[in-house]
A and B are shown apart, each in its own frame.
Chain A
């Protein structure tokens, strides 16, 4: 039962549909093992934005305050896109490589253990 309602066949208005974001799509990103950031971040981004801009401008603009951000070796960094291993193409647009509306990216840098080695 999709809802318990008085009205038969009641449906709700989808508040967060793509069309409501004026040409942008929502993208979420977290950095595993770095809980200085209490939760992943959310941004509205153009679907055609190249991945490199997401990584080096958008993400760096928010995660960059962490002392370890500058130490990331991007050749060894791993990504999960919506729970699946993902190898980004830096030059291709987000949507073109499957990063859709409300997709979640998780950055993993296993050799960086966080502040005091505590995953912070």
Chain B
């Protein structure tokens, strides 16, 4: 007699819950030593539900199919000179930033989920974290494979893991994940599964990837959507984590809210880079950062927080500031990279006149007033042979590690300065949000590895900036950095197109 096919719910039960065991001769508390110290109370792990009821057999089957599709497209792209099909060689610089700034976070997520997947007492949570850990490893691998095609033709792709650990602006994403991974297991889940995956990663993997497609980058859009299909599962897990924690114990609500507030703010600061990639680095436009923010945070996140209100959870703190900042951050970030273009591992440029007009149209309340004049000045100085390159290092925020480039939303022409004193030293911040995070856990953030300060302590080689860029960061000076105009990337592109 043929075995009866199990339905999804029974299969899930057998292949997760029934894999667990009781501790008969070992102390359960010693087996899961990190479960208590954050103050979270779990009364019954069996209440954990995976809404997709994904089991390992189905996981391997569908992931294998995703990979086959993905690699077929990578092959097609490299066999047909996919690098020549992108809209404009400037676009490739967004991918350089992706490889050095975002792909290593996938690896950090892999390590983080492998760790917490060991630490939870509940088997449902362990299985879900294990699958997510494998997903994240897949993401970093597929991203590296996709971008290896570009490494053959463009500068700046050659030493991304090294750069991630050392380059000044890459300390922003690196420290974000370091912060999450050095938290307890429950904070890690709220930080990454919920605040980051559920609330924010759509902004990276949906509108930006749609933009990659619109700029002829077949390989990137394909890995992006393939990754995001896993993220859809992670997001759902993130939402379940929150609901589970909130239902387990009333005392968990205040702790979870605090973590949501912290990680929403940290995530928003991190996404400044993505905002800039959308508004300035995609030559063919899909939507502005502001529009993407409205669809994927204000609308989607708004619905989410309305749903969570029944548990006593409110919108993240400072969401009102962020709503105003959507008009500003992408412009402030790109201006910073433009004026520090000699110290970036990718090319920067002045937007074309048509692009400046697009920005005016998309940001009618802010662009012409605050940002277009900066580009007019840049154009003037460039035409006089004085392209702007700042020669001193910027002051950094002690929490997000971003240069102090953000302005007061009540007065957008004024840099926002915040300072706290702790044990006799001053600590500077870009915002109330970052200051608040420091003040909650100063002993953690006095340890921030701030690149500008490390350089001045002599910990990054030198003595001069070019020495640091070349020897400590592994930049190929004159090829990886400086303006797009006159770069080897641009010259090669023009040669290929002439031959074409």
Contact = CB atoms under 8 A, between A and B. Distances in A.
Asked if A and B form a direct contact in the complex, defined as CB atoms under 8 angstroms apart, the reply is yes
Interface of A: 1-6, 10-17, 20-22, 24, 26, 28, 30, 32-33, 35-44, 61-62, 65, 82-83, 100-104, 106, 114-116, 118-120
B449 A62 contact: no
Most chain B CB within a 10 A radius of its CB, from A39, A41, A116? A39
Interface string B434-476: 0000001111111111101100111000000000000000000
Interface of B: 33-34, 37-39, 183-184, 187, 332, 335-336, 339-340, 369-370, 373-374, 376-377, 381, 386, 388, 390-396, 403-405, 407, 413-415, 417, 419, 423, 425-428, 440-450, 452-453, 456-458
B426 A1 contact: no
A37 B339 contact: yes
Contacts of A35: 335, 370, 374, 407, 413, 415
Contacts, number: 157
A3 B442 contact: yes
Contact of A3 (B33, B34, B369, B441): B441
A67 to B, nearest CB: 8
A120 B374 contact: yes
B394 A21 contact: no
A114 B376 CA distance: 12
Contact of B457 (A20, A28, A40, A115): A20
B425 A14 contact: yes
Contact of A15 (B376, B391, B446): B446
A15 B404 CA distance: 19
B37 A6 contact: yes
Q: For chain A, what secondary structure do more than half of its interface residues adopt (helix, strand, loop), or is it mixed?
A: loop
B374 A102 contact: no
6 contacts: A2-B441, A4-B441, A28-B428, A40-B395, A42-B452, A65-B388
A114 B371 CA distance: 13
Contact of A11 (B39, B407, B443): B443
Contacts of A33: 413-414
Contact of B405 (A6, A21, A39): A39
Contacts of A100: 426
A3 to B, nearest CB: 4
Contact of A14 (B377, B395, B446): B446
A42 B415 contact: no
B453 A26 contact: yes
A42 B395 contact: yes
Contacts of A26: 453, 456
| In the complex, the 4 A-B pairs of residues with the closest C-beta atoms, listed nearest first | A118-B373, A3-B443, A39-B403, A41-B392
Contact of B450 (A16, A103, A104, A114): A16
A38 B332 contact: yes
A62 B392 contact: yes
Nearest to A119: B413
Given A102-B425, A116-B376, A38 B336 contact: yes
Contacts of A21: 456-457
A116 B404 contact: no
A40 B448 contact: no
Contacts of B448: 15-16
A10 B443 contact: yes
B369 to A, nearest CB: 7
A2 B443 contact: yes
A13 B456 contact: no
Contacts of B444: 3, 12
